[in-house]
Amino acid sequence: MTPALPFDPIQRAAEMEAIVMHDQKRKYYRFRASRHYGGIVTADAVGCPFLCAYCWNYARNASPERFGKYYAADEVVEKLTSIASRKSIRLFRISGAEPVLGPVSFDHLLQVVEAGRFIIETNGLVLGARPHLAERLGGLNVAVRIGIKGWDPQSFERISGAKKEFFRYPLIALKTLREAGVDAWPAVMGDLFLTEGTRCIAALIEEMGIRTRIETEYLERYPGVMSAMRHRGC
């Protein structure tokens, strides 16, 4: 499933959804508690329309047909809430992959977020391409963290592997979510964006009339991640 770079990420999202969704069930490979956000219960999924150079889950997202097991939304909720009860945690997320690949995975997500207070970690691509999906998150007990993969079209293509013309879709998602009353914010990779890249994104967000904080995250410097980044020229 590894395409030639750069690729059409909307087409790839549809291909991913066809693999990781079956009879309203989605592929997950792990359920765990982690320290992020001060303590959160995580469902690790597979399937992403991007192939980011620094992705710690690159192999699973490049070949999602090889990993994971299908779970219905109520099974995911049961596993999450069971771990939360044992660990005294009240926050949930899906990680390791993109939760919104299209309408089928989005409907699955809507059922999973019934577990409780949920942080949706997304690249924003499909939510930007289908703003009506983003609008449906308004009024739910969710917050949305959008991972921004570049500060301009060229860096977006180099980092994500996706064609540069899709650069603004995550920003469209951010604007739509904020207008729907959802607590949504962008996150950037500080090791790559540095000060200048972060300023570029801040300026774009301001131009679009969006008022929000920008979260800075930092690389997990696994050997495979560093090798992939060198190969991609990041």
**Residue 139 C-alpha from the chain's centroid:** 20
The answer to whether 38 touches 122, Cβ cutoff 8 Å, is: no
CB burial of residue 99 (10 Å; 0-12, 13-18, 19+): buried
Looking at the structure of the chain, the number of domains it has is: 1
Stretch (H or E) spanning 224: helix 223-232
Residue 143's domain is classified under what CATH number? 3.20.20.70
pLDDT at 19: 98
Whole-number Cα distances in Å, 217 to 2, 88, 188: 26, 26, 6
- Is a pLDDT exceeding 70 seen at residue 228? no
pLDDT in tens, 141-181: 999 999 999 999 999 999 999 999 999 999 999 999 999 99
Provide the token pair at 79: 């596993």
- Is residue 2 in some structural domain? no
C-alpha–C-alpha distance, residues 141 and 209, integer Å: 24
| Percent of the residues in the chain that have a pLDDT greater than 70, as a whole number | 94
pLDDT at 229: 64
Mean pLDDT confidence for 194-219: 96
- Is residue 162 in some structural domain? yes
Query: Count of alpha carbons within 13 Å of 118, Cβ hemisphere only?
Result: 25
pLDDT at 1: 62
Nearest-5° Cα angle at 147, 70 to 31: 30
pLDDT at 220: 72
C-alpha–C-alpha distance, residues 1 and 63, integer Å: 6
Provide the token pair at 198: 């972060």
pLDDT in tens, 82-140: 999 999 999 999 999 999 999 999 999 999 999 999 999 999 999 999 999 999 999 99
What is the residue range of 92's domain? 9-232
pLDDT at 219: 80
DSSP state of 162: B
- Is residue 167 in some structural domain? yes
Q: What is the pTM of this model?
A: 0.94
- Is residue 30 in some structural domain? yes
Partners of 30 in the β-ladder: 44
- Is residue 90 in some structural domain? yes
- Is residue 177 in some structural domain? yes
Q: What rounded mean pLDDT belongs to the chain?
A: 94
- Under the banding of pLDDT at 50, 70 and 90, the label for residue 224 is low
Report the greatest alpha carbon distance in the chain: 46
CB burial of residue 153 (10 Å; 0-12, 13-18, 19+): middle
- Is residue 124 in some structural domain? yes
- Is residue 3 in some structural domain? no
- Is a pLDDT exceeding 70 seen at residue 221? no
